[in-house]
Structure 1
Amino acid sequence: MQFILSCFLLLPLLIVFTLESLLKLFIPKKRKSVTGEIVLITGAGHGIGRLTAYEFAKLKSKLVLWDINKHGIEETAAECRRLGAKAHAFVVDCSNREDIYNSAKKVKAEIGDVSILINNAGVVYTSDLFATQDPEIEKTFEVNIFAHFWTTKAFLPAMMKCNHGHIVTVASAAGYVGIPFLMAYCSSKFAAIGFHKTLTAELAALERTGVKTTCLCTNFINTGFIKNTSTSLGPPLEPEEVVDKLMNGILTEQKMIFVPYCIKILTMLERIFPDRFLTVLKRKFNIKFDANIGYKIKGQ
């Protein structure tokens, strides 16, 4: 009873904070400067990681670029330099913890303390549970979530020491809604969102609120990783559109970025609507893509 009463006493705060949030929708938030900040981006050899590197290069940040693809990461670094930024390319296997830790030591020794960490590297296998090989499941988690722990453990202490920094988690709408034939990927992205939310809470508990956190959740992106995607939510997103939203979210210190915005609404509705209705609603999404199905119905 005492707990219910204490919650009821929070009602005035709820009203004030709700009005404040509504007001902020009409007042553009000032973008912070990232000039001179050391920005490390994993998976920077292609796609979202590469385009994000270009945007930070335009803002005169110092780029530390990681990718397993040597040719791709060197191309990204060369373009960042052409845009006027200092860029350092490292060939790093984000599925390998020791490779991450060793590369982090080199970065700190040769370049300095990273102040913006963007955990972007990811892998995806489009297959049902039975067609997904055990090593593929392991690699999905090693890259999509375990690497977040290793990079954050490597670079967060310096951020916490000066109470300044930013950690960005590139997750997915698949971290909120389970999608058939993406079981390993969805599971890893559910974990990535949990990582972001818990890290945010932990930084607050340790009174290190100067270290900001941001999480990106998107619909399918036209990067070629998933073939022939289609959904009633709209065509696959273009990488440039996603990076534009991501950069705005980082520079205005948004905790969650949803692209398109309707994904946020859908995550809210999932907590309210009955399961049977949600089942029907998810069918309406009509999500399709090429996938390898290992399960065979008897007689087929």
Structure 2
Amino acid sequence: MNLILELLRLVGIIIYSYLEACVKLVIPAKRKSVSGEIVLITGAGHGIGRLTAYEFAKRQSKLVLWDLNKHGVEETAEECRNLGATVHASVVDCSVREEIYSAAEKVKRDIGDVSILVNNAGVIATADLLSTQDKQIQKTFEVNVLAHYWTTKAFLPAMMKKNHGHIVTVASAGGHLTVPFLVSYCSSKFAAVGFHKSLTQELSALGKDGIKTTCLCPVFINTGFVKNPRSRLSPILEPDIVAKKLINGILCNQNMIFIPSFVKFRLLLERILPERALVALNKFTNVKFDAIVGSKRKEH
């Protein structure tokens, strides 16, 4: 009897969830305030990290910016100060665990407890697997995945104590769908998505409903990391549009952000189409960019 009641409850929740999703399409979700929150952004010296910092600065957040590029992170910090934000910028190599922990201790001691953590730093190697150097593969996983563990372990305890915070994982559509000549990158982003999903479920199991999580999964962005990207179906995204969608998702406590949204439909096809049909779909999509193939750079 208990099983039947639990099944009925599950069906009720599923129906309610669909109705809630339909209502949200018409009525915008309420946005939370991030004014006064201490926000730490990794990879803040350029691209999405920089533009996301600007969005938080406009909302009077207190910013902690990390990047390996001293000039880049200081430029971001200066612009955020011009927008009225209090900013602390540091050079931090997110591929080095000890450096992350050391910098995190300094933040907690000198600035305070980080309440919004944006794990944005990332690297990419555009090459076939055999042309990708071992050190490139290792660096990809150190920055794109392992750094998320170290930053989260450093700042999550204070969030759990207060049951308040937000952890943001900047991943990629490549964390759900694979692309040739990006084996190490896609693999690392699959791991980042897995980190986000597992952490979300773990926080729920621990009853920490005040700590929110968001995962950003865009297609190619026009940041220069990938040279000459193009696709028959997917647009090349502009960084400012992605940053605005990310901040909107954070303010609305959106768990998973796909840009563009039709990536969700592509994921559905991935699960229901036969293998031969998927191969044909990938050829039709015709994703292209400059990559090293057979140790020579060329357009694939």
Same fold by TM-score, threshold 0.5 exceeded?
Answer: yes
Counterpart in 1 of 2:112? 112
User: What amino acid maps onto 1:281 in structure 2?
Assistant: L
CA change 1:295–1:54 in 2 (3 A) is closer
Counterpart in 2 of 1:62? 62
**Deviation (angstroms), 1:5:** 9.2
User: What amino acid maps onto 1:117 in structure 2?
Assistant: L
Residues 77-156 of structure 1 mapped to structure 2, 5 A cutoff:
77-156=77-156
Q: TM-score, normalised by structure 1?
A: 0.95
Give the Cα–Cα distance (whole angstroms) in 2 for the partners of residues 32 and 8 of structure 1. Answer: 33
CA offsets 1:26-78 (integer angstroms, 9 cap, x no match): 11111100000000000000000000001100100000000000000111101
User: What amino acid maps onto 2:116 in structure 1?
Assistant: I
Give the Cα–Cα distance (whole angstroms) in 2 for the partners of residues 52 and 63 of structure 1. Answer: 11
Give the Cα–Cα distance (whole angstroms) in 2 for the partners of residues 10 and 95 of structure 1. Answer: 42
**Deviation (angstroms), 1:230:** 0.7
Counterpart in 2 of 1:208? 208
Give the Cα–Cα distance (whole angstroms) in 1 for the partners of residues 4 and 271 of structure 2. Answer: 21
Give the Cα–Cα distance (whole angstroms) in 1 for the partners of residues 230 and 3 of structure 2. Answer: 47
Counterpart in 1 of 2:243? 243
Counterpart in 2 of 1:171? 171
CA offsets 1:165-189 (integer angstroms, 9 cap, x no match): 0000000000111110000000000
**Deviation (angstroms), 1:8:** 6.4
Give the Cα–Cα distance (whole angstroms) in 1 for the partners of residues 137 and 23 of structure 2. Answer: 44
Give the Cα–Cα distance (whole angstroms) in 1 for the partners of residues 48 and 139 of structure 2. Answer: 20
3-state SS of 1:93 partner: coil
Root-mean-square deviation (CA), in Å? 1.6
Give the Cα–Cα distance (whole angstroms) in 2 for the partners of residues 3 and 275 of structure 1. Answer: 37
Residues 254-273 of structure 1 mapped to structure 2, 5 A cutoff:
254-273=254-273
Moved more, 2-11 or 197-206: 2-11
- Structure 1 alignment gaps of length 5 or more: none
CA change 1:155–1:281 in 2 (3 A) is same
**Deviation (angstroms), 1:267:** 1.1
3-state SS of 1:90 partner: strand
Give the Cα–Cα distance (whole angstroms) in 1 for the partners of residues 3 and 129 of structure 2. Answer: 44
Give the Cα–Cα distance (whole angstroms) in 1 for the partners of residues 70 and 127 of structure 2. Answer: 28
Counterpart in 2 of 1:281? 281
Moved more, 258-267 or 210-219: 258-267
Counterpart in 2 of 1:72? 72
User: What amino acid maps onto 1:173 in structure 2?
Assistant: A
User: What amino acid maps onto 1:242 in structure 2?
Assistant: V
3-state SS of 1:31 partner: coil
3-state SS of 2:154 partner: helix
The percentage of aligned residue pairs carrying the same residue is: 66
3-state SS of 1:117 partner: strand
**Deviation (angstroms), 1:278:** 1.4
Give the Cα–Cα distance (whole angstroms) in 1 for the partners of residues 94 and 149 of structure 2. Answer: 11
CA change 1:129–1:3 in 2 (3 A) is farther
- Structure 2 alignment gaps of length 5 or more: none
Give the Cα–Cα distance (whole angstroms) in 2 for the partners of residues 184 and 62 of structure 1. Answer: 34
Give the Cα–Cα distance (whole angstroms) in 2 for the partners of residues 13 and 211 of structure 1. Answer: 22
CA change 1:9–1:70 in 2 (3 A) is closer
Give the Cα–Cα distance (whole angstroms) in 2 for the partners of residues 14 and 234 of structure 1. Answer: 31
Q: Is the 1:129–1:294 Cα contact (8 Å) retained in structure 2?
A: no
**Deviation (angstroms), 1:256:** 0.4
3-state SS of 2:187 partner: helix
Counterpart in 2 of 1:53? 53
CA offsets 1:233-289 (integer angstroms, 9 cap, x no match): 233100011011101000000000011011111112212222221111111110000
3-state SS of 2:147 partner: helix
Counterpart in 2 of 1:195? 195
Q: Is the 1:41–1:64 Cα contact (8 Å) retained in structure 2?
A: yes
CA offsets 1:68-125 (integer angstroms, 9 cap, x no match): 0000011110111111000000100000000000000000001000000000000000
User: What amino acid maps onto 1:62 in structure 2?
Assistant: K
Counterpart in 2 of 1:159? 159
Counterpart in 2 of 1:40? 40
Give the Cα–Cα distance (whole angstroms) in 1 for the partners of residues 214 and 66 of structure 2. Answer: 20
